Structure 1
Amino acid sequence: MAQFDYPVGYHDFHKTKIIDYQMNRWYSMGYTRKEDMVDAATRIKKLEDWKEEMIKQAEKAIDEKRIMNGTFYYRAAEFFTHPNDPDKLRLYDTFIEMFYNDLFVEHDIERYNIPYENVYLPAMRLPSNNKNARGTIVIHGGFDSFMEELYSMASYFAHLNYEVILFEGPGQGGALKKSGLALSYEWEKPTKAVLDYFKLNDVTLLGVSMGGWLCFRAAAHEQRIKRVIALSIAYDYMKIPPPIIEKFALWLFKHPKLMYWMADVKMKMMPQEKWGTDNLIYITKTDTPLDGGMALLEFNAAHLKSEHVTQDVLILTGSEDHFIPLKMHDIQVKALTNAKSITERIFTRDDHAHNHCQVGNFGLALRVMANWLNEKE
């Protein structure tokens, strides 16, 4: 089973924040090289340059027998490829093919298709290092993740003698691209399918990014989950902006013509906003920015049901997370009124883990999780 090095430090690869973060993400999780990111950044002037540059980096890495780098550069290339671009699915297929049949073909990875709503949820299992596993950790991502990109995390816990299961739910990876399942806030449903399939009764559920919202929703409904780890939280997506912006956004939903006009202007002026809106429409399988926004409104405090979470909880938050403001951390902690226990950790710039999902010092976040599990087992 592969072992990974997690470099410490968040780097200024690119002046555009969303591009800079993605470059740091792959590097921080142990998949890419710093020098490749520096090189690519010199030729990426806008989002439209991203796909071709990442494909070039992938081809170069493969020519140099750096299969790990090459595989994940194809994943990186897919990330900013527009949903209407036929290359998006081709890049996904290339990444998956290389991940399982080239990069980790000799590793102990078990793949599953879990029956769900007449289609399938993709899942992956990493057995523990010996027959006496310490327990089972179930891991899922968030907004637009692939389970394969969380492999370095899964491998870390498998080396600590945990059985690790990763899965993709509606709106994610193969569940979206192959099974056609749109993102849904009812995360207890795919989680139940996974627990039923593997006959699990005592698990730790680990949600990453938007998964930090989804894991609490699942835990509120599923008592087979005994411990919950949220690697980032959101609580209520409409409460992320300042209150005045929240009120204005809610008002806009009642005036769709004005909302369409404003969304169109914003997307023309800010390409990253266009990508975000188009991606939201893609994973929610909706037709317009309004419909996509309405789907996102479902990820709110009322649907989260924090008060029904009764498990041991660990929350990890970056003090300078550019997606989720720090204020959401305290709101989420206070909402968990019936949790068995709550452990919280806010990472700072001194930790090099102050960004979203602790990109910059991913290894530190993993050690914090492992130590917490030692205490709770």
Structure 2
Amino acid sequence: MKQIMFTEDPQFWFETLRLFGHSSYGGSDFGEVVAAASTVTAGDYDSWHDAYRALADRLYAEAADAGPITARDLLLRASTYYFSSEFFLHGDPADPRIAAAYDRSVECFRRAGVAEPVEIPYEGTVLQGYFYRAPGEGSKPVLIIHSGFDGSAEECHFMGAATGAERGYHVLTFDGPGQPSAIRRDKLVFRPDWEHVVTPVVDFALGLDGVDASRIALMGISLGGVLAPRAAAFEPRLAAVVAVDGVYDAGSAVTSLLPWPREEIVRRANAPEDAEFDAILAAGREASPTLRWACDHGRYVLGAATDREFIAKYLEYTLEDGIAEKITCPTLVCEAADDLFFGGETETEPRRLYDHLNAPKTLMTFTAEEGADAHCHVGAQRLAAGRIYDWLDRTL
């Protein structure tokens, strides 16, 4: 989608478009986002925080005196804006603004009352999430949804969870290691062997009333487009998996920016020292708003001390070495025609994943004409959700 704001900063534009998209299910209002964004200076993380924190605080205060339905709507939007306000601050994990905004975001979402908070047992602790129950009697299919590199269980409401119940699906969302509640509350960093995360979530889902054990599907968003297929390769109880968008090798998002082949990048990233690599990353941060943000956030959620260590850890998120070929359940691979992170000059990451699948598979491409060509189709979330659930209906 053509940039209409922040024309020199694709990362700020993408996050603005992401906010616009959440309006499809009540997570934002277009005019509110335009008004806030107009006060933001491109590349200035403090101005981004201040604009969306002020907007969120205003809605939060208004909700205190509003009727119940109006309060629900105000709190859902405030939840989105609080979460967005701390989005670019993770270069300093000790910044007190992160916890202050994130905690208020979760508070607002829970007070809105759109889903039941749940705690899923996981390796001596719990994963935070939400359960959406479909109306009616009898067993229903369940769609498990998780986000990726930087999204939250609360945000999953606007990216597929909100529409599930009316379509006859129970929906279970959660934050896994590296994702907001897990990293902020328990310091659980990302892990590439995501099947060890999804298996206890499936166990939990099977313990819920009214779940059809033969119709459990999993959907991963953004980096979840590699995590969910990875889990599906080793979790036989899944009846279908959806990758929004599909990712075969997450590391391609950074290796494409570097002057060496992947094997050389792996070697140099894991070396005790590499001044040349460090200098290239430093220059890249200055030239690329996306790389600057990705390195800051990546150190935070992967538990890396340096940008180069982040790159080394991030390169482990791949379906190479025959992992994609192990998937046996039907797989929907979504593709954005102009993906900021996982596009490609010759072959996109979704198509690489699709080509390696032996399971029944569908490639679903979203285009600029549909306003859906951005990463994870954030500009057309209602369109994307409809097509994905229709595929699930046919598949399950």
TM-score, scaled relative to structure 2: 0.86
The code of the aligned residue for 1:336 comes to L
Deviation (angstroms), 1:168: 1.2
8 Å CA contact 1:55, 1:74 repeated in 2: yes
Question: What's the counterpart of residue 110 of structure 2?
Answer: 100
Consecutive unaligned residues in structure 1, runs of 5 or more: 1-8
Within the alignment, does 1:257 sit opposite 2:255 as a pair?
Answer: no
Question: What's the counterpart of residue 50 of structure 1?
Answer: 48
Deviation (angstroms), 1:76: 0.8
Change in 2 beyond 3 A, CA 1:28/1:246: farther
> Where does 1:1-377 land on structure 2 (aligned, <5 Å)?
12-15=4-7, 16-30=9-23, 31-45=27-41, 46-48=43-45, 49-65=47-63, 66-82=74-90, 83-101=93-111, 103-104=112-113, 107=114, 109-152=115-158, 153-199=160-206, 201-202=213-214, 203-240=216-253, 241-242=255-256, 245-247=259-261, 249-250=265-266, 252-253=268-269, 254=271, 256-270=274-288, 272-302=290-320, 305-326=323-344, 327=347, 328-337=349-358, 339=359, 341-377=360-396
Distance 1:283 1:183 in 2: 6
Distance 1:185 1:238 in 2: 12
Bigger CA drift: 295-304 or 12-21? 295-304
8 Å CA contact 1:139, 1:207 repeated in 2: yes
Percent identity for Structure 1 against Structure 2: 25
8 Å CA contact 1:188, 1:222 repeated in 2: yes
Bigger CA drift: 131-140 or 300-309? 300-309
Distance 1:242 1:279 in 2: 19
Bigger CA drift: 116-125 or 89-98? 116-125
Distance 1:271 1:242 in 2: 15
Deviation (angstroms), 1:99: 1.1
Match of 2:148, SS?
Answer: coil
Question: What's the counterpart of residue 6 of structure 1?
Answer: none
Deviation (angstroms), 1:97: 1.0
Match of 1:206, SS?
Answer: strand
Any idea what the Cα deviations from partners look like across 1:280-325, whole Å, max 9, x if unmatched?
0100112111221111011123367001000111111111111111
Change in 2 beyond 3 A, CA 1:268/1:11: closer
Distance 1:370 1:269 in 2: 40
Any idea what the Cα deviations from partners look like across 1:242-279, whole Å, max 9, x if unmatched?
49745164464245222223323333455543322111
8 Å CA contact 2:110, 2:117 repeated in 1: no
The code of the aligned residue for 1:140 comes to H
Change in 2 beyond 3 A, CA 1:63/1:372: same
Match of 1:154, SS?
Answer: coil
Distance 1:304 1:94 in 2: 43
Deviation (angstroms), 1:50: 0.5
Deviation (angstroms), 1:14: 2.5
TM-score, scaled relative to structure 1: 0.90
Change in 2 beyond 3 A, CA 1:269/1:354: closer
Distance 2:267 2:195 in 1: 31
Question: What's the counterpart of residue 3 of structure 1?
Answer: none
8 Å CA contact 1:61, 1:70 repeated in 2: yes
